[in-house]
Amino acid sequence: MNVIIYLLPLALGLGLIGLFAFLWALKSGQYGDVDGAALRVLSDDDLEK
């Protein structure tokens, strides 16, 4: 059972990484425009420059 001593913090740490990734995404405004990104990918105007 001793394996839990480091497995548990490891699991928590991974969870925390996920949480902070989400909070960072939220803070950097990635949920500000949820419809635009899907349409932006269709435009090719970044190719010629």
Binding residues vs other proteins (CB under 8 A) = 1, 4, 8, 11-12, 15-16, 18-19, 22-23, 26-27, 31-36, 39-40, 42-43, 45
Inter-residue contact 25 to 19 (CB < 8 Å): no
DSSP string, 35-49: THHHHHTT--TTS--
Please report, as a single letter, which amino acid is at residue 35: D
Min. distance of Cβ 30 from other proteins in angstroms? 12
